[in-house]
């Protein structure tokens, strides 16, 4: 029941935010030239925003393992991903571009991924961080039919966040 309620909260919050401004952007006082993006954010914001200088270099250095790409490819249409991260967070800077590289190489559609930006207190518009009990970012939650299958927090338990995600997709 908890998952159905969370799924309802998520879909309604994303719909509400999308109907208005899906995210906010404020200067990051701790990173000159940086921004804190909060709310529902598309990967294209990171690709095109000139303050996200970390995105492309982090993505370019990543060559995923074939078995991880294969697991993502096989997951198409079966799973969706809910990601919480911070545009200010070094761990998000490391993981997020690589996650999107996996998505692109495997053909997982953009519609299967929702990214929620959080502020430095790990709060998001619509209180989604509280609903999903987010303590650290990035957190990648794997969902099947609206129910959480599992999650990988920061670099995962083993430091191999991508391999851990692939295991959740099996």
Instruction: Spell out the residues 6+ positions from residue 34 whose beta carbon is closer than 8 angstroms to its own.
Output: 27, 28, 51, 87, 88
What's residue 39's pLDDT? 95
Alpha helices in the chain (DSSP H): 2-19, 43-48, 55-60, 66-75, 90-106, 128-131, 161-168
CATH code for the domain of 108: 3.40.30.10
- Please work out, in degrees rounded to the nearest 5, the angle formed at the alpha carbon of residue 77 by the alpha carbons of 74 and 80: 100
Q: Which residues of the chain have pLDDT under 50?
A: 1, 4-5, 8-9, 12-19
pLDDT digits (tens, 9 = 90+) for 67-84: 999 999 999 999 999 999
What's residue 104's pLDDT? 95
Alpha helices in 49-88 (DSSP H): 55-60, 66-75
Instruction: Spell out the residues 6+ positions from residue 27 whose beta carbon is closer than 8 angstroms to its own.
Output: 34, 35, 36
Containing structural domain, residue 108: 2-168
What are residue 83's DSSP bridge partners?
A: 115, 140
What's residue 1's pLDDT? 44
Look at the chain and report how many structural domains it folds into: 1
């Amino acid at each position: 029941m908890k998952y159905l309620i969370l799924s309802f909260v998520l879909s309604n919050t994303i719909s509400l935010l999308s109907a208005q401004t899906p995210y906010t952007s404020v200067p990051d006082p701790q990173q000159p030239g940086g921004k804190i993006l909060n709310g529902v954010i598309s990967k294209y914001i990171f690709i095109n925003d000139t303050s996200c200088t970390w995105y492309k270099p982090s993505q370019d250095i990543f060559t995923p393992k074939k078995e991880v790409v294969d697991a993502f490819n096989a997951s198409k249409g079966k799973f969706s991903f809910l990601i919480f991260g911070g545009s200010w967070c070094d761990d998000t800077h490391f993981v997020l571009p690589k996650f999107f590289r996996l998505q692109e190489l495997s053909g997982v559609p953009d519609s299967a991924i929702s990214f929620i930006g959080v502020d430095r207190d790990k709060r998001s518009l619509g209180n989604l961080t509280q609903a999903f009990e987010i303590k650290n970012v990035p957190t990648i939650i794997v969902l099947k039919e609206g129910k959480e299958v599992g999650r990988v927090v920061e670099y995962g338990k083993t430091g191999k966040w991508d391999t851990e995600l692939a295991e959740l997709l099996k």
